[in-house]
Amino acid sequence: MQLENQTGAVEFHLLGLSEDPELQPVLSGLFLTMYLVTVLGNLLIILAVGSDPRLHTPMYFFLSNLSFTDICFISTTVPKMLVNVQTHSKAISYSGCLSQLCSVLAFAGLENFLLAAMAYDRYVAICHPLWYMVIMNPHRCILLTLFSVTISLMDALLHGLMALQLSFCADLDLPNFFCELDQVIKLACSDTLVNNILMYVVTSLLGGIPLIGIFFSYIQIVSSVLRTSSAGGKYKAFSTCGSHLSVVSLFYGTAFGVYISSAVTESTRKTAVASVMYTVVPQMLNPFIYSLRNRDMKAALRKLVRTSLFM
């Protein structure tokens, strides 16, 4: 089979979630609604944290960064899908596909590390409350965020550079609504052994280490709370962790669901549908989880809305 020049006119085709023409308007309306809800919800979180001095704490600093990451994450996939549906096109350029691939990896990795940083913040707040403001000082919070950004960008750049070495054949149909690393690798005609090894090793390390850190933090939190004699103290401790634990469960649960789905089913269409569960759904639900379960956040949002209405 003749190899295409990878720097030439290589073009991928995103097959999307369905090829049924009657479903396209429905999918377009559904994803547009989810996108707008996600952007608006996370933007409100960022504005509420920035406008209310009571929320200028490490926990809400990480939350505002998570909201910004969620906006960027969903913006790397859904807008291109909406454009393709409206233009009745499935094409995405070679450079556009690699850019999207790297962006998805970067923002998924950043969300992963931010969730771990938030778990560490809750661990310090509950297990070492007297040292909380000393340990979680602004300098350390910024360093944790910069570390998360740096590692995520390096991971995305590494996989992007390795993907640049691949050559592709004539059949460049991707059974998804965005360019996903493993699916791009499967389309290559050149040897992909190094790419596959790198993908599994790096993903296991960068996904496993933060997850282990989250587990360790919550083991320490539960142990500390159980030693507390006050029922009110236990409720307050668990309530401060409830929102974060819900977000962690949603993010990792959907990600593992996609992995299991791709492993046990041969249907690429079902895998594409499952991909929605970790690239769209968690980002849309995160603002609701934090705003509905947090009295300070609800108060800040009400204040923000009142201020906006009477300006």
- The full DSSP string for 170-201 is S--EESSSS--HHHHHHTBSS--HHHHHHHHH
- Amino acid 9: pLDDT: 58
pLDDT over 90 for what percent of the chain?
A: 40
Mean per-residue pLDDT, 183-190: 88
Mean per-residue pLDDT, 292-311: 75
- Amino acid 7: pLDDT: 46
Q: Are 209 and 260 in contact (CB under 8 A)?
A: no
Chain centroid to CA 251: how far?
7
Measured between its terminal Cα atoms, the distance across the chain in Å is 65
Q: For residue 91, report the phi and psi dihedrals to the nearest 5 degrees.
A: -80, 145
Contacts of residue 134, defined as CB under 8 A and 6 or more positions apart, other chains included, come to none
- Distance between CA atoms of residues 73 and 46, nearest Å: 15
Domain residue ranges in the chain? 11-309
Which stretch, 35-49, 213-227, 292-306, has highest mean pLDDT?
35-49
Q: For residue 176, report the phi and psi dihedrals to the nearest 5 degrees.
A: -160, 175
Q: pLDDT (tens digit, 9 = 90+) per residue, 26-79?
A: 888 999 999 999 999 999 999 999 888 888 999 999 999 999 999 999 999 999
- Amino acid 268: pLDDT: 63
Residues 11-309: name the CATH superfamily.
Rhodopsin 7-helix transmembrane proteins (1.20.1070.10)
- Amino acid 25: pLDDT: 86
- Angle, alpha carbons 77-253-257 (nearest 5°): 70
Please check the confidence at residue 207 and state whether its pLDDT lies above 90. Answer: no
Helical (H) or strand (E) element with 21 = none
Which stretch, 16-30, 77-91, 265-279, has highest mean pLDDT?
77-91
Q: pLDDT (tens digit, 9 = 90+) per residue, 144-165?
A: 999 999 999 999 999 999 999 8
- Closest to 55 (Cα-Cα) out of 231, 311, 299, 306: 299
For the chain, the average pLDDT equals: 85
Mean per-residue pLDDT, 3-16: 66
DSSP symbol at 55: G
- Amino acid 1: pLDDT: 40
Query: Which of 153-162, 197-206, 263-272, 293-302 shows the lowest mean pLDDT across its residues?
Result: 263-272
